Amino acid sequence: HKTAWAIIAAKLISIARFCADKSIQKTFTDYSAQYLLDFVKPQQEQVKAETSSCCKISSVAQGILYAVENDIPRQKDWSFRGCRNVVEQYDGPRFSVKGQVQSLTLTSALICIQYHPVAAKLHLFKAYEELAQDEIYRGPTDENLNYIGEEDVMIYETRIVEDELVAVVKLPCGKKEYLNVSVDVMLILAPRDDDDADGLRLKNLAKACRLLKDCMAILPPPRTK
């Protein structure tokens, strides 16, 4: 199920509320990814034939925008259940979200994570499943060129490993929880004619790019005088 967008959006919201005013919120509180899955208008829907359940696919930015406009409950009040078709109404407490989504270059994102994690998309190939815990993900290998797609991730820190810049990212829905991703590797992804099992097609990718892209964070609203 494609739930990473909601998990990442909720985590960015949790980080933004904690950083905004620690005098009000002294402990870190997780806010509900399930609420976003249930109520954000999907950009795409995939029906899983084996369960007849509907996978509601949106984006991190849309999830944050919905929370800004409608507030959001805590995770403990609206716990995670995954994609589902029937949604009951929620009448419990909701909390305001202030700020705006800010797109970041990879360079800006790597500076930003000195203060808090940021979201990004990761070009993910099945080769990552074969890596040992401390190995570095550098994209496809000669033995495994299968492309999974662009996955929503969180970047938590960077490290220098033998003169190579490496980002430590969390995959909310991957087979590995954390992945060491090379920031230095450049890819050239060429379009192909066939679709993969999820109907994903490589489009407009015949240019050099890095494994990590489309970084974002929630910036606080401007202070009023």
212, 168 contact by CB (below 8 A): no
141-158 pLDDT, tens digit each:
877 778 898 999 999 999
Q: Is the pLDDT of residue 204 over 60?
A: no
What pLDDT score does 54 carry? 59
Per-residue pLDDT, 73: 96
Does the pTM surpass 0.85? The reply is no
CA separation for the pair 34, 75 (Å, rounded): 8
Handedness of CA 144, 156, 41, 1 (dihedral sign): positive
**Residues 16 and 25: beta-carbon distance below 8 Å:** no
